[in-house]
Structure 1
Amino acid sequence: MIKILKLLNPQPPIAGLEISDLSLRYFIVKAGQPKIYSVKLEPGVVVEGKLQNKEAFLKALLNLRAQITKKTKQKLFVILNISASNVYSQIFDLPKVAEDNLEEAVQLNLQMISPINISEAYYDCQKVGESKEKNKIEIAGAFIYRNIIDDFSEMFLKANFVIVAVEFVPLAITRLVKELALNFDKQASYILFHISSDGLNFLIIRNDNLYFNYFTSWRSLKGEKRYISPEEFRTVVIDETKKILSFYNRNWADPIRSFLIFAQGLSAEIKEITTKDLSLEVQEVAFKKFSKLEYVWFPVLGSSLRGLIDRSEDNIISLASTGTEEEFKRQLFITFVHLWQKIVFSFLAFIIATISAADIFLFARVNMLQQNKALITTYNQEELNRLQTQAKEFNKNLVLLKKARSEAPSWSSLFLKIKTIAAQDNIEILKLVIESDQKTIGINARATDEKKAAGFKQRLINEVQFKEVSMPLSNIQPVSENLINFYISFKLN
């Protein structure tokens, strides 16, 4: 049944889109081949993962979109990949007995461990493992300030992108390594060192999952200087690696398999540092596929791999707002409606054409029989009468069918009218339900305040096409300081 539903409403293609301080990168796999597009950002547009210049960012985003498609109205679905510089992540344990009420226990723990005010944060979690010895479940949580995501989301909405999920670079790299890296043991533990244009990422990967990440930006390393010397870089790598090793040894007993290097151009230097000064087994990351791809594209490739996962099966951390998930579902619904609208209209056209052809054929048949009636001497009169009766019954049914079709309400014009009325009060239609009597319509909607909702109700009352307009006060629910959800129903005259 699920497979049939997926065929009826297929998931749209979802790409990876990475935002760094220097550029935007878009990656999608089509027919097994990568399609890549990028745009450089002006200095100061994004600084340490935070949007500073909305106008310049939107201009760059529209430039990127123009490279991808010339269809300005087409929605582009993306997994957004952001820098880890503003993301706080942490692992915590829950006893196995909490599984019966896991969601409530997880939410409580996330609120307790959050390093920022939970009301100002977007946060999410995922199960990463189980400790059988301690009889506990291991949960990874991540947090980010809402305004950072909201600033980016506003620009993507204006550029006609739909954000499906928001993740940070270490999550994408972990997925990339575990799915495409050569000689990667999913049961082993690794420390991965990644160098990007934004800074240095240290990852702890255990049981096929990201357990911890630590990010240091180039800006924090350089200070007021324009560059960092080789000696300073060497010191940073040694000091930060020692911190990660100390953290790992305090929390886990199983040994580290190897130190993975993901740093094109500096792999030899880092390998020499970690081998000589830290006595670590070092392994440079190599991939089974896309080996000719430039190094800078690998993080966003990791996000594009997430786009291949069915949405119902994606339980990975996403730092997007809940409204993002609703927008994705809304776009899927619109796509579904448009698809089936075409199918239904085509089917009706086929039925009408078939009936019309049969009607012409039967009328010609009857006329021919009537013209040749005088020549028929042995023809069974009873059979002729039966055919005439069938023809009359068929014509009667055809008239009824045409009448029913002409009397059916024009839903498309009705929906457009409701949408136009709602737009006058900035009302967002969340859900529209047509009852089985095809006369009663219910609407779940969102407004900035109760006054706007009341205005919407009055506009519906003023329309002669509607009657019995009702908006129960008990169904008005505040969503935030400036948003309410409400329910309104009415009947068609």
Structure 2
Amino acid sequence: MPRSLIGKFIGKLIPQQEFAGFEVGDKVIRFLLLSHYDLSVMSAIEVPLVPGIVEKGELKKQSDFIVALETLKSKITVTDKSNIPCVVTAPSSLFFFQVIELPEIADASYDEAVRLNASQTSPLQLNDAYLDWQNLGVNLKTLQREFLVGIVGHNRVDPYLEAFQRAGFEIIALESRSLSILRLFSYFSKTIEKNITILFVDVGQDGMSFIIGRQGKLYFDFFLYWSEISEAADGTITKEDLEAILKREVLRMVEFTNLHYSEGISHFVLFSPVLKPDLTAFIQSEFSLKLVEMTPPPLGALSADLWAGTIGAGLRGSLIPRETDDLISLLPEGTEVVYQEKRLGSFISLWSKIVSFTLMGMIMVFGVVWSVALQQQKNHQNTLGSINALPEVAEVKSLQADARVFNEQLLKLDQVEKKTVRWSEFLDPIVNAAATYGVSVERLSLGQGNQEIRLQGTAPSEQGAFDFSAAVEKYTIKFSKVSLPLSSLVPVPGGVLFDMVITMAKVLK
């Protein structure tokens, strides 16, 4: 959905904000905030849950869960903790997903058509559930458009929404761990083959998840809690137990894929905090599947396998602009609506403060001028009275000194009124270059001692971003250096998102 002119205007005035990833499990909750500049870890917090608070993804003890949220919140080092926004990823067992195909129809009819088809296969009444869908594109074999539909019952989500709100968190998007894992893979996988069918095996603290994906998109997921697996019934599990489970469940996924899809599983990805090399070798030898390598961002002491879902949610919060986020979010309102309401509130709050401080400044200046004028008038009256009584040289010098002070104060006031930064000489070259190469400037900010302009924009392509950078760099009189890091280039719908740092030839005062 295209942004309105008001939305674009607000976007230029309010910088893009990083939103944290927040994962909920049966045994632990995790919070991760990543920098959208280099994906460095800004904050990572983990709080264990007492058994029974969350069972198989469902919130059973809301008051105890709120205490855990408040404990986690107390460890977050941010200035404003009143309402912390986050993208929440929850156990896949909470959600129902299906892929449906529709013939090409008018855009305006997609939502109605998807909901109609979903209502016929959904295990829930849509009146009692939250539904969202994502356009997966056209299937090149059937020539029909595919849609991923997600559904979750109100009774499963509403207790979480209330708990997060009471603890001072704002959920701006809600998705399954399977979707978060696929996003992590899409950003950091080493494969260049786009149409292969991949099996994702996730060995986690709560159980095992089996996901089928293609081109980073979810087509099927299946989750087993440890309590549902016979090999783990006694509360312990060995390497042999894991291999037996994998042999049985991976075979089921392979047979399911061969039955329902035209292409079988050829590759796999494994997330496991334990025995990962052994389990990888077992899957390769037992099923002749090829391993797809990943290089996740550096996380310090954090385990990328345990934190995979949290990282995926954090990527959505830090890299995907909220106003263009059309990915599945199973909340009462869509992600774009939630974000626009939040940003409009921030815009109103910002300008309320600006107007208030401006009025206060004007009142203070007027008060100073009025006070100086009254004092000068009083001094002149006293001086005139003294001159009339006894005109001496000392009184004349006093009048001259008072006049000098008065003139100096008026000069300072005049300088304050005239002091302003002429931005146009720096912004005009950037705006002209952006118009020439089709670049949309998303955000501008000033940093590094008022000598650097930080710019975030969207170009039609990577070459467009480089051409834009080269065009700006030609203005050597205005700019001494233009930096476009390759790591900042992120593919987004409609082009490439990038960050650029422009060093000005002179420092703004």
Same fold (TM over 0.5): yes
Q: Is the 8 A contact 1:178 1:208 kept in 2?
A: yes
Q: Is the 8 A contact 2:89 2:175 kept in 1?
A: yes
Q: Residue 305 of structure 1: CA displacement?
A: 0.8
Match of 1:318 in 2: 329
Matches within 5 A, 1:301-316: 301-308=311-318, 309-316=320-327
Match of 2:309 in 1: 299
Task: Note if 1:113 corresponds to 2:124.
Answer: no
| Structure 1 counterpart SS, 2:185 | helix
Q: Residue 236 of structure 1: CA displacement?
A: 1.9
Match of 2:175 in 1: 167
Matches within 5 A, 1:44-193: 44-69=52-77, 74-97=82-105, 99=107, 101-183=109-191, 185-193=193-201
C-alpha separation in 2, matches of 1:283 and 1:209: 16
Q: Is the 8 A contact 1:122 1:320 kept in 2?
A: yes
1:251-298 CA distances to partner (integer Å, 9 max, x unpaired)? 333454411112232222322322222222234543254475313222
- AA of the residue aligned to 1:28: L
Unmatched 5+ residue regions in structure 2?
Answer: 385-509
Q: Is the 8 A contact 2:10 2:343 kept in 1?
A: no
Q: Percent identity?
A: 27
Note closer, same or farther for the CA distance 1:98–1:342 as it changes in structure 2 (3 Å cut): closer
Matches within 5 A, 1:287-436: 287-290=296-299, 293-294=302-303, 295-308=305-318, 309-322=320-333, 329-353=340-364
Between Structure 1 and Structure 2, how many residues are aligned?
A: 372
Note closer, same or farther for the CA distance 1:175–1:259 as it changes in structure 2 (3 Å cut): same
Indicate which of 278, 282, 290 corresponds to 2:291: 282
Q: Is the 8 A contact 2:40 2:297 kept in 1?
A: no
Matches within 5 A, 1:266-277: 266-277=275-286
Q: Is the 8 A contact 1:267 1:284 kept in 2?
A: no
Q: Is the 8 A contact 2:85 2:171 kept in 1?
A: yes
Q: Residue 365 of structure 1: CA displacement?
A: 11
Indicate which of 260, 276, 282 corresponds to 2:269: 260
C-alpha separation in 1, matches of 2:256 and 2:300: 33
Q: Is the 8 A contact 2:89 2:313 kept in 1?
A: yes
Q: Is the 8 A contact 2:254 2:264 kept in 1?
A: no
C-alpha separation in 1, matches of 2:14 and 2:99: 37
C-alpha separation in 2, matches of 1:366 and 1:239: 97
Match of 1:416 in 2: none
Q: Is the 8 A contact 2:164 2:171 kept in 1?
A: yes
Unmatched 5+ residue regions in structure 1?
Answer: 373-493
Indicate which of 22, 25, 45 corresponds to 2:30: 25
Q: CA RMSD in A?
A: 3.1
C-alpha separation in 2, matches of 1:275 and 1:310: 38
Q: Residue 132 of structure 1: CA displacement?
A: 3.3
Note closer, same or farther for the CA distance 1:105–1:219 as it changes in structure 2 (3 Å cut): same
- AA of the residue aligned to 2:244: T
Match of 1:245 in 2: 254
Match of 1:453 in 2: none
C-alpha separation in 2, matches of 1:130 and 1:177: 22
Q: Is the 8 A contact 1:181 1:288 kept in 2?
A: no
Q: Residue 112 of structure 1: CA displacement?
A: 1.5
Q: Residue 68 of structure 1: CA displacement?
A: 0.8
C-alpha separation in 2, matches of 1:184 and 1:326: 35
C-alpha separation in 2, matches of 1:113 and 1:11: 39
Q: Is the 8 A contact 2:175 2:329 kept in 1?
A: yes
Q: Is the 8 A contact 2:86 2:169 kept in 1?
A: yes
Note closer, same or farther for the CA distance 1:46–1:201 as it changes in structure 2 (3 Å cut): same
C-alpha separation in 1, matches of 2:80 and 2:18: 17
Match of 2:422 in 1: none
C-alpha separation in 1, matches of 2:102 and 2:337: 30
Match of 2:457 in 1: none
1:361-417 CA distances to partner (integer Å, 9 max, x unpaired)? 999999999999xxxxxxxxxxxxxxxxxxxxxxxxxxxxxxxxxxxxxxxxxxxxx
C-alpha separation in 2, matches of 1:230 and 1:349: 70
| Structure 1 counterpart SS, 2:71 | helix
Note closer, same or farther for the CA distance 1:305–1:72 as it changes in structure 2 (3 Å cut): closer
Q: Residue 352 of structure 1: CA displacement?
A: 4.0
| Structure 2 counterpart SS, 1:132 | coil
Greater CA drift, 255-264 or 233-242? 255-264
Greater CA drift, 121-130 or 179-188? 179-188
Note closer, same or farther for the CA distance 1:174–1:125 as it changes in structure 2 (3 Å cut): same
Q: Is the 8 A contact 2:226 2:233 kept in 1?
A: no
- AA of the residue aligned to 1:242: L
C-alpha separation in 2, matches of 1:279 and 1:189: 14
C-alpha separation in 2, matches of 1:201 and 1:181: 19
C-alpha separation in 2, matches of 1:101 and 1:273: 47
